[in-house]
């Protein structure tokens, strides 16, 4: 039987040990009215047949040269990452409740926490949340708890990824937290901090600062952080961790640094996979430790003074604190932290900086090439990181369709005349030229 | 044997895997105030050092692939390797979530079929796959219950009923959804206390979250009555599907009358737990909650030629949705594993799963009680798991459930869940799952019996356990959790 | 540096410990006239670039529905096989010289030996040779040693895979062993044992018996074995191990059973890989143990009576016996035995029999379908296993070309009018129909 | 801790992984005399049991991925994971060897380039990739030398010269090729004894097989003279390339005047050793041996449009070939790994490999001699490996090289090669390779020093080693090899 080791003899002898006649009898406490037939599912397939089916389905996917970003990014993932992350001992273990028998996962998580804290410039990190968007929602909830205020609002710039904002809305709306949009400047594509002074006075609990923002544009994080702090708000940095190979860590933003930092860990060795599983991270400064949601691993010792690692500060969590927990999260994205940790260890400071620099370089080159085409203009002026907006003189949808016919997914349509384009280290000069050539052709063609 | 150094201790300044000369690329054009002034404090190690360090670390885990792992409520069963390999096909891995649907017919068709199959198995009207774990499935379900009442203008329903035996995520979720949590007692028989329930329900009742079979490892015999009581009070019923492995192919929550259910695919559908995730928590609902399902979902349209076209369906098409729960579409890679599993197991196979999971649990319970252990509910049928209480052992030998658990590690078994559910003192919640053989169960029984003898003769052996956890660089003694919490040491710093 | 961990400081401090100035100085014993510049190779590629290149190259390969066998066979390989075989501890270990630190490999090899011995009906097996062909050559050499005769000849039926025969020729020709071809019957495609009586008297050292033979035909192994033994020859069975899921094991052939059994282990969980690495196996009866070439693992105990495994009987091998060793083999196909062992353990007796039966069934069905086409006849009459010969009324090369245009590799051309076709469990009814339809079309088209 | 049961002990009659009802297929039409009467005696276990058993077994290995492995002559360096992953791409794995060349341009072009690159690195005129390991490469080389003489009618050349320090495969191969083996002595300096050589050569000399750097870890300083002597006597020169890692990018056997060479890609080119293989042993030759190279080889033709077409070239095109060495084309999957490795490392990188391999060896030798150990050739430069002789330790404390080796296992290091080469008493042949870090070498040195102190103070500790090999279920003591050979127990049988 698939995955069930029992022989007929086993079943018989076990039933007689239990003292029942049949397997049916094991379900005699289920009211007869509720008993059901086996579900009607497609006939079972052997591994050979399902393998063929899935290979066919996988074969159909993708294949186009995609210049898509908008929150999920294609990067080269060193082969060692998934060769190790796929090992059964990581893959098939549970959440490390029994510390002594789970030191592999626990020590790795401790190392992960250290890396994330180091990258973000924070004092500590939890051991993962579901994804970047839900982690940002958790950061908002956490900031509200930290602020210990009743009422008040959370500032969310219009430059935050709209998918993240939608997720925040779903997850915090049940608690009636007010989310206030902060406008961005149509020229730079960033928040204009100087205009913030003119904002109506409000009781700000927290301020989100995306870096880079949804349009790839770099925000003036120092000024924004100082402004947030001046309002008495907690500052939450929402960052792309890969960009932190070269960008200033949120812990050093402004005079006091961000208070919380969260974001999507997918760029760190996690495949695109049509949307998940990804990795949410959340780091903070020590004073907020006990408000942090999710697992946290700590270093400790055994009786003999040998170092070991355990899940700690569990009094924050649902299984202890129940209705008063910092979050309802239980299962998180453990295996994704394995991948991220391996990725960061393999790259190291130099490697990460080089990848980030190559992304920047390639996207800059691509932007220059594309904006040399008639009818293609820069969407914004500001400095950007590996993603930029184009303003097109032709309808975006038809341009994208024309590119698709040429094997290129040109980016994400933001509006009928605006396209968000991403270019990471994976795109060679040849790829960029191919895009430019195709766009030039399409712009001519779809012209009128 | 000393433990494994942390990766930072392996490093040397200036060491890098980066293979070649830096490119000409630079950041000159970016404002210096936006840049890092010092490199990030990451380890500086070679590829071999990384591979060796993490391979060695991995060996320090117990896991399904290496050990029996009877962790109650967690359904630690075999994760078929085919599911992993097929979900990791490059075609699936390399597709960007925002690519047009036409490049994703393979993955979308699989997810669509998974939605349908899960609806059939649970008996619910529709399923959304987007929640990223059980707790998020709960969130979706409870948020939908809230949305339902709000939509009907039934705004007084601020209370969520939760049995005292419930998993911690249940009350935590109810709070997160803005509900007041009200606990319902359990009777000595293990069934819910109907009197408490009757007393608790009222116009303020938004719903009840029930786990069935319950976290006590018992099928709730009065489930129909419970559902009637709550429905009649105007509340809805949430089904915590963590224990679905006990009843697939034998009974369906939808048939029982539940309005919402989450499914832990990392339990019943055998996707790996990954040392803490990712899982996925699809949520199923009855007709009345259908409009509120979280997005995105997968839709299917048949064209004139009879060919199916699959597409993501979002808030635009589903305006009453509670919204999206993640930036993209949830844990698709995990869902693909569940899909492959389900296609291999099939409908009759899903019944066989429940049958043999239940057989294993009842067998273990019978043998262990025969050997002198005390089942918390000896007169009940175990579902796919059951509870031993070590209260007698505590009273007689002074050894706790924790001591037993730690000693089991020395014997090469992962420990059952301990101290959950909270109702039963010194409890072990034991879930063998259907993928373990009788021989393995017999070895576990032998270990339990041996430990019980040790408890009588030399309780210190248990109290100081573990002594020699059988992993490389093992021999770690019991770790001091109190110290960890009192003086948190949460990131590595250079020490001397 | 790629895969080299040394920092500049490391190099300096190590050089000064050694007491030299530079890396160059480490090579000062090489005569200056012999020192060379670094080789001129293509510029190094980053992992990202080589990954892309190899993916492109892999993407070009195969893709056609191939009905090829002739010594290498497509089977479904359960996913668990290579997931486990690829684990670093198996993959990156050496030959298990230090037994206590190599128990994983050693115990596995012991289990492998047991499985091969069980499948073939022999008393023992070695721990692998390079491939089926070279293993057969080793079997010939071994038989010659066992026979302890001077002169004499080895009988090789014309039904043995010609690639195997060519390899034997290369490997034994240096020693002047005479190989005598034994004819086959043109009707049955098998050796006609009754005609052997009429053979000129000869001093036979050994007789090879292939089962199934190169044409997929089943030989009358009992009669042949008895004939061989009557001539005083050692009988060497050359078998497809997968077929032994259902076919009589060589240990039971004739009255006394074969003496040695060898063959290609590729069907047992090893991918086709354009030709290798595969797995040669060689098993024998106890009396010949000390003539067996290659590694052998034995079970033993430590001081405390604990069971463990070691390389044993090493006095046969080159590192001990040097010029007098049973073979020059050192490195063998260790990892392939890991795969074969996993494959056999996953399938078990029932699974192996079912796969073999499915192969038989599918090939039978295909043969019936194809020989229903005008101009397509059976090549031979005898019973066959998963491979058969077709006689075509059109030139084979043009038929194959026509099939190839339709995405099908129809088999292997044996002669201008003969085609060897293989059909394993991987070919569904739909695949077989596709082949039949294509062949019908091609036969019509290429007709005259 | 008991060891791991053998897989047969895990089985239960009737247990099967086979997932579904048997098909209607049958064997009815086959003559019953050709069929098995009883099922093959294979284990009857579940997929989980297989995965668990072999995962646990794997953990009982030391390997490069888990341990420092300074096994001399074996070049146990890091096997980059990218090589593995890229060689295992489904497109490469699923192609049948007899498919037309047009479906194999990806693999053929890679192999063609590999032939060219290996020729450039070794300085040989041409390379054939078909030998499946070093020993088979030797066979090919020596057989070509034989074919060369035969072709010239020089049939008296029946003797192959082999230094006494040579690896066992050298004399074994010479015998297999029908040559009489004549040993040549080594001087105390470690160089070959030229007088013995001069005495040995003559009209019966077919050739000399030389390893350079030799198995003593020394570059043969008189190599030019040696080559002259043999060439002048009409013999050819075979280069055993096992130690190529010591000189890549620094010197080329072809430039030295060798006629044939094999390359162990599982050493210098970092393909994994797989617990015993597969490797690959490409063979390179000078011009005069080129016609004899084993087939198949990969050829390249440029068409009118300048596009390359790659194709297998066999005996038909190369009538003087010594023939084919395997049924198909050798260990292609392994060769692809070598190709990927070479493309990542590049030409300068190949020099860096030799440089750092040599640096590590000389550093270890310097530190260990400083610490009181005796280098066999203290006044020579080590190549990528070097020899310690424990003769002094044997004499003073009664501990052998074997004892040292076994004790190193307790310290978590694989042991160096022991008792090879045969010339040096109580020898350890230590090869760290370039992929190990200075820290790791320092830890190894510390262990060696500690063991030496133990040898003085408590020699029994070494003689009974290992005591607690740090693997799960470790704690195995020294295994009795004599018993294994005396009463061979080579397959598992049910015992009681
Ligand atoms: C009964 C029960 N409910 C809910 C959950 C939460 O599921 P998840 O961990 O997937 O969020 C669990 C998981 O342990 C559980 O056992
Ligand atoms: C010096 C030397 N020559 C030849 C060989 C034989 O190579 P292989 O094991 O690949 O057959 C070896 C391998 O150990 C060796 O070290």
Residue-wise pLDDT tens digits, B12-58: 888 888 765 566 678 999 999 999 999 999 999 999 999 999 999 99
B331: Cβ below 6 Å to ligand 1? Answer: no
pLDDT at D2 over 60: no
Copy the structure tokens of residue B492. 């590595």
Ligand 2 atom index nearest CA of D137: 11
The helix/strand/coil state of D24 is coil
Distance CA A78, CA C50 (A): 11
Q: Angle at CA D210, nearest 5°, toward D209 and D216?
A: 135
Assign A59 a pLDDT band (cuts: 50, 70, 90): confident
B133: Cβ below 6 Å to ligand 1? Answer: yes
- For chain B, the average pLDDT equals 95
The helix/strand/coil state of A217 is strand
- Cα of B431 to ligand 1 centre, how many Å? 14
* Torsion (CA) C353, C356, C362, C368 in degrees, nearest 10: -100
Q: Could C1 and D58 be called an inter-chain contact, meaning their C-beta atoms sit closer than 8 Å?
A: no
Q: Could C79 and B84 be called an inter-chain contact, meaning their C-beta atoms sit closer than 8 Å?
A: yes
Q: Which of D458, D477, D455 is nearest to D466 (CA)?
A: D477
Q: Could C273 and D93 be called an inter-chain contact, meaning their C-beta atoms sit closer than 8 Å?
A: yes
B73: Cβ below 6 Å to ligand 1? Answer: yes
More confident residue, B10 or D244: D244
pTM over 0.80: yes
- Cα of D215 to ligand 2 centre, how many Å? 10
Q: What residue's CA is closest to ligand 1, atom 10?
A: B134
Mean pLDDT of D412-426: 95
Q: Count how many pairs of residues, chain A against chain D, have C-beta atoms within 8 Å.
A: 49
Nearest to D78 among B47, B65, B435 (CB): B47
Q: Domains in chain C, ordered, with CATH?
A: 47-76+349-445 (3.90.1150.10), 79-344 (3.40.640.10)
Residue C370: per-residue pLDDT: 98
Residues C387-396: pLDDT tens digits? 999 999 999 9
B215: Cβ below 6 Å to ligand 1? Answer: yes
Nearest to A88 among D20, D49, D55 (CB): D55
CB A159 within 8 A of CB A192: no
Touching C: which chains, 3+ CB pairs < 8 A? Answer: A, B, D
Assign C194 a pLDDT band (cuts: 50, 70, 90): confident
Residue A198: per-residue pLDDT: 83
Cα distances (angstroms) measured from residue C414 to each of B193, C419, D31: 80, 5, 26
Copy the structure tokens of residue B185. 């007692």
D298: Cβ below 6 Å to ligand 2? Answer: no
Nearest to D49 among B344, B412, B437 (CB): B437
Residues B364-419: pLDDT tens digits? 999 999 999 999 999 999 999 999 999 999 999 999 999 999 999 999 999 999 99
Residues A323-346: pLDDT tens digits? 889 999 999 999 999 999 999 999
D214: Cβ below 6 Å to ligand 2? Answer: no
Assign C448 a pLDDT band (cuts: 50, 70, 90): very low
- Cα of D353 to ligand 2 centre, how many Å? 19
- Cα of A27 to ligand 1 centre, how many Å? 23
Ligand 2 atom index nearest CA of C331: 9
Residue D440: per-residue pLDDT: 97
B467: CB partners within 8 A, 6+ apart: B410, B461, B475, B477
- Cα of B332 to ligand 1 centre, how many Å? 19
* B89–chain C Cβ distance below 8 A for any pair: no
Residues D44-57: pLDDT tens digits? 999 999 999 999 99
Mean pLDDT of B215-232: 97
User: Residues A259, A264, A267, A270: is their CA dihedral positive or negative?
Assistant: positive
Residue B21: per-residue pLDDT: 58
A430: CB partners within 8 A, 6+ apart: none
Ligand 2 atom index nearest CA of D73: 16
D273: Cβ below 6 Å to ligand 2? Answer: no
Nearest to A80 among B51, B61, B79 (CB): B51
Residues C326-338: pLDDT tens digits? 999 999 999 999 9
Residue C184: per-residue pLDDT: 94
Assign D476 a pLDDT band (cuts: 50, 70, 90): confident
Q: What residue's CA is closest to ligand 2, atom 14?
A: D74
* Nearest ligand to residue D137 Cα: 2
Q: Could C51 and A425 be called an inter-chain contact, meaning their C-beta atoms sit closer than 8 Å?
A: no
Residues D104-152: pLDDT tens digits? 999 999 999 999 999 999 999 999 999 999 999 999 999 999 999 999 9
Residue C181: per-residue pLDDT: 95
Mean pLDDT of B420-434: 96
Residue D158: per-residue pLDDT: 96
Contacts of D85 in chain A (CB under 8 A): 79, 83
Percent of chain C's residues with pLDDT above 70: 99
Distance CA D37, CA D40 (A): 9
Copy the structure tokens of residue B196. 């408490």
Q: In a mutational test of the pocket of ligand 2, which residue from D169, D245, D262, D278 has the highest number of ligand atoms less than 8 Å from its CB?
A: D169
Structure-token match 């500060």, residue found: A313
D398: CB partners within 8 A, 6+ apart: D459, D463
Nearest to C275 among D97, D173, D248 (CB): D97
- Please give the residue of chain B at the shortest CA–CA distance from C44: B20
Residues D237-269: pLDDT tens digits? 999 999 999 999 999 999 999 999 999 999 999
* Nearest ligand to residue C94 Cα: 2
- For chain D, the average pLDDT equals 95
Residue among C13, C16, C89, C290 with most chain D CBs within 10 A, to mutate: C89
* B14–chain C Cβ distance below 8 A for any pair: yes
Mean pLDDT of C78-91: 98
Mean pLDDT of A26-36: 97
Nearest to C246 among D27, D82, D356 (CB): D27
Q: In a mutational test of the pocket of ligand 1, which residue from A330, A333, A335 has the highest number of ligand atoms less than 8 Å from its CB?
A: A330
- Cα of B169 to ligand 1 centre, how many Å? 7
Mean pLDDT of A68-81: 98
Q: What residue's CA is closest to ligand 1, atom 7?
A: B134
Residues D151-162: pLDDT tens digits? 999 999 999 999
Residue C193: per-residue pLDDT: 86
Distance CA C326, CA A258 (A): 73
Report chain B's C-alpha Rg in angstroms: 25
* Nearest ligand to residue D73 Cα: 2
Nearest-Cα distance to chain B for A358, in Å, is 6
Percent of chain D's residues with pLDDT above 70: 98
Question: Phi/psi of residue C409, each to 5°?
Answer: -100, 110
B25: CB partners within 8 A, 6+ apart: A354, A357, A358, A360, A361, A362
Q: Could B84 and C89 be called an inter-chain contact, meaning their C-beta atoms sit closer than 8 Å?
A: no
Residues D294-330: pLDDT tens digits? 999 999 999 999 999 999 999 999 999 999 999 999 9
Mean pLDDT of B466-482: 84
Q: Could C3 and B45 be called an inter-chain contact, meaning their C-beta atoms sit closer than 8 Å?
A: no
pLDDT at D347 over 60: yes
Q: Cβ-count burial of B153 within 10 angstroms (0-12 exposed, 13-18 middle, 19+ buried)?
A: exposed
Q: Could C79 and A425 be called an inter-chain contact, meaning their C-beta atoms sit closer than 8 Å?
A: no
B134: Cβ below 6 Å to ligand 1? Answer: yes
- Please give the residue of chain D at the shortest CA–CA distance from C102: D61
Nearest-Cα distance to chain A for C48, in Å, is 6
Q: Please report how many Cα atoms fall inside a 13 Å half-sphere around the Cα of residue B57, on the Cβ side.
A: 29
pLDDT at C447 over 60: no
Q: Count how many pairs of residues, chain C against chain D, have C-beta atoms within 8 Å.
A: 700
Residue D469: per-residue pLDDT: 84
Q: How far apart are the two ends of chain B, measured CA to CA in Å? A: 20
Strands (E), D157-227: 159-163, 180-184, 205-211
Lowest mean pLDDT among A50-54, B303-307, D15-19: D15-19
Mean pLDDT of A198-213: 93
* B340–chain A Cβ distance below 8 A for any pair: yes
D240: Cβ below 6 Å to ligand 2? Answer: yes
Cis ω before A253 (30° cut-off from 0): no
């Amino acid at each position: 039987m698939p995955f069930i080791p029992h022989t007929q003899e086993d079943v018989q002898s076990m039933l007689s040990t239990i003292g029942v006649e049949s397997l049916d009898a094991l379900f005699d406490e289920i009211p007869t009215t509720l008993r059901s037939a086996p579900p009607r599912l497609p006939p079972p397939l052997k591994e050979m047949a399902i393998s063929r089916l899935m290979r066919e389905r996988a074969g159909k996917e993708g294949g186009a040269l995609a210049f898509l970003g908008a929150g999920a990014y294609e990067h080269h993932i060193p082969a060692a990452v998934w060769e190790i992350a796929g090992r059964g001992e990581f893959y098939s273990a549970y959440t490390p409740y029994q510390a002594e028998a789970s030191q592999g996962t626990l020590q790795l998580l401790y190392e992960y926490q250290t890396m994330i804290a180091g990258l973000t410039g924070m004092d500590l990190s939890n051991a993962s949340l579901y994804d970047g968007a839900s982690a940002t929602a958790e950061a908002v909830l956490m900031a509200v708890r930290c602020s210990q205020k009743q009422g008040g609002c959370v500032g969310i710039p219009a430059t935050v990824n709209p998918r993240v904002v939608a997720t925040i809305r779903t997850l915090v709306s049940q608690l009636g937290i007010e989310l206030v949009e902060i406008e961005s400047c149509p020229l730079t594509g960033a928040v204009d901090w100087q205009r913030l002074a003119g904002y109506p006075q409000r009781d700000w609990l927290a301020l989100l600062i995306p870096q880079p923002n949804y349009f790839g544009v770099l925000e003036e994080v120092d000024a924004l952080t100082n402004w947030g702090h001046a309002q008495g708000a907690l500052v939450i940095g929402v960052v792309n961790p890969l960009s932190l190979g070269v960008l200033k860590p949120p812990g050093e933003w402004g005079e006091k640094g961000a208070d919380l930092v969260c974001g999507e860990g997918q760029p760190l060795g996690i495949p695109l996979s049509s949307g998940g599983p990804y990795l949410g991270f959340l780091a903070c400064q020590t004073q907020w430790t006990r408000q942090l949601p999710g697992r946290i691993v700590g270093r400790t010792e055994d009786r003999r003074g040998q170092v070991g690692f355990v899940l700690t500060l569990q009094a924050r969590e649902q299984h202890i604190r129940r209705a008063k927990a910092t979050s309802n999260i239980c299962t998180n994205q453990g295996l994704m932290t394995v991948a991220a940790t391996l990725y960061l260890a393999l790259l190291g400071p130099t490697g990460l900086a080089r990848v980030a620099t190559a992304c920047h370089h390639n996207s800059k080159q691509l932007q220059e090439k594309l904006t040399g085409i008639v009818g293609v203009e820069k969407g914004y002026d500001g400095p950007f990181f590996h993603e930029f907006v184009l303003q097109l003189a032709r309808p975006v949808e038809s341009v994208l369709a024309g590119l698709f016919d040429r094997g290129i997914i040109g980016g994400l349509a933001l509006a009928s005349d605006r396209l968000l384009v991403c270019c990471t280290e994976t795109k060679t000069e040849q790829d960029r030229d191919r895009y430019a050539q195709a766009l030039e052709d399409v712009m001519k063609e779809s012209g009128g | 044997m000393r433990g494994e150094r942390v990766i930072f201790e392996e490093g040397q300044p200036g060491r890098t895997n980066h293979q070649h000369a830096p490119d000409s690329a630079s950041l000159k054009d970016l404002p210096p105030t936006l840049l890092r002034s010092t490199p990030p404090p990451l380890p500086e190690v070679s590829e071999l050092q990384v591979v060796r360090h993490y391979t060695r670390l991995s060996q320090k885990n117990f896991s399904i692939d290496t050990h029996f792992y009877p962790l109650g409520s967690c359904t630690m069963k075999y994760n078929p390797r085919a599911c992993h390999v097929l979900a990791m096909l490059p075609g699936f891995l390399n597709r960007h979530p925002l690519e047009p649907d036409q490049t994703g017919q393979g993955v979308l068709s699989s997810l669509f079929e998974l939605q349908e199959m899960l609806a059939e198995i649970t008996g619910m009207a529709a399923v959304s796959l987007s929640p990223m774990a059980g707790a998020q499935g709960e969130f979706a379900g409870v948020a939908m219950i809230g949305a339902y009442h709000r939509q009907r203008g039934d705004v007084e329903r601020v209370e969520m009923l939760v049995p005292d035996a419930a998993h911690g995520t249940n009350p935590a979720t109810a709070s997160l959804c803005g509900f007041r949590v009200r606990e319902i007692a359990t009777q000595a028989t293990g069934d819910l206390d109907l009197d408490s329930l009757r007393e608790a329900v009222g116009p303020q009742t938004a719903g009840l979250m029930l786990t069935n079979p319950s976290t006590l490892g018992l099928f709730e015999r009065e489930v129909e009555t419970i559902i009637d009581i709550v429905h009649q009070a105007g509340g809805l019923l949430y089904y915590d599907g963590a224990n679905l492995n006990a009843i697939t192919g034998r009974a369906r929550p939808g048939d029982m009358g539940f309005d919402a259910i989450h499914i832990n695919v990392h339990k019943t559908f055998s996707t790996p737990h990954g040392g803490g995730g990712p899982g996925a928590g699809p949520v199923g609902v009855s007709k009345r909650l259908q409009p509120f399902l979280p997005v995105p979902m997968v839709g299917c349209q048949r064209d004139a030629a009879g060919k199916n076209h699959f597409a993501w369906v979002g808030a635009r098409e589903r305006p009453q949705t509670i919204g999206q729960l993640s930036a993209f579409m949830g844990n698709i890679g995990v869902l693909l594993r569940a899909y492959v599993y389900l296609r291999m197991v099939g409908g009759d196979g899903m019944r066989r799963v429940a049958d043999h999971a239940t057989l294993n649990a009842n067998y273990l319970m019978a043998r262990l009680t025969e050997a002198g252990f005390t089942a918390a509910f000896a007169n009940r049928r175990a579902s796919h798991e059951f509870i031993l209480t070590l209260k007698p052992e505590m009273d007689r030998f002074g050894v706790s459930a924790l001591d037993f658990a730690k000693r089991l590690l020395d014997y090469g078994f992962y420990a059952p869940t301990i101290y959950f559910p909270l109702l039963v003192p010194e409890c072990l919640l034991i879930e063998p799952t259907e993928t373990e053989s009788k021989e393995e169960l017999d070895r576990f029984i032998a270990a339990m019996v041996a430990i019980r003898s040790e408890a009588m003769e030399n309780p210190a052996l248990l109290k100081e356990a573990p002594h020699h956890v059988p992993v490389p660089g093992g021999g770690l003694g019991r770790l001091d959790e109190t110290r960890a919490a009192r003086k948190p040491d949460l990131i590595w710093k250079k020490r001397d």
